[in-house]
Amino acid sequence: MLEKIASFTINHDTLTPGLYVSRIDGDCVTYDLRCKWPNRGDYLPQAALHTIEHLVATYVRSTGRYPEDVSSDQVVYFGPMGCRTGFYLIVRDAVSRQQVIELVKAAFAFAASFEGDIPGAKQIECGNYLEHDLPGAKAEAAAYAAVLANCTPETMAYPD
């Protein structure tokens, strides 16, 4: 029998959009960037989600772009949730919760205002290069940026 993974123990009926500490594994902390209410029928459109992934992943891996002196080598991973309600960000535990908040705010503000060619979206660079939606991504990123406005280290725990 398979063990239930930690993210499946969270009550998705009470989970609201926000920024949460999902799990801590050794020196890595996984953050749940929940953009949408789970199981409410409103999900991130696939093409917009894909574009946000490219924009934010590029941003958080670009040394010198970060607030609070976070370096790109402290970012392990950024990618989408299969349920299309948000993203996971994995960073080294040397990055404080406040630094993560500032980094995520800056990354989504970057995505919300991005103009130009989507990074990594050429056929040679991306496995699904035709499925992008920059206007949709900008709108979703702006909506999540509004959620982040009220985020503090104290609000990063999952609801009971």
Of 87, 51, 90, the C-alpha closest to 73 is 90
Q: Counting every residue, how long is the chain?
A: 160
Other Cβ atoms less than 10 A from the Cβ of 73: the count is 9
pLDDT at 110 over 90: yes
Quote the CA–CA distance of 49 and 153 in Å, as a whole number. 25
pTM equals: 0.94
Quote the CA–CA distance of 77 and 85 in Å, as a whole number. 17
In order, the DSSP letters of 48-98 are HHHHHHHHHHHHHTSTT--STT--GGGEEEEEE-TTSSEEEEEEETTS-HH
The three-point CA angle 44-120-80 to 5° equals 30
Q: How many CA atoms lie within 13 A of 84 on its CB side?
A: 15
14-63 per-position pLDDT tens digit: 999 999 999 999 999 999 999 999 999 999 999 999 999 999 999 998 86
Quote the CA–CA distance of 160 and 153 in Å, as a whole number. 17
Q: What pLDDT is recorded for position 88?
A: 97
Q: What pLDDT is recorded for position 5?
A: 83
CB 89 within 8 A of CB 31: yes
pLDDT at 65 over 70: no
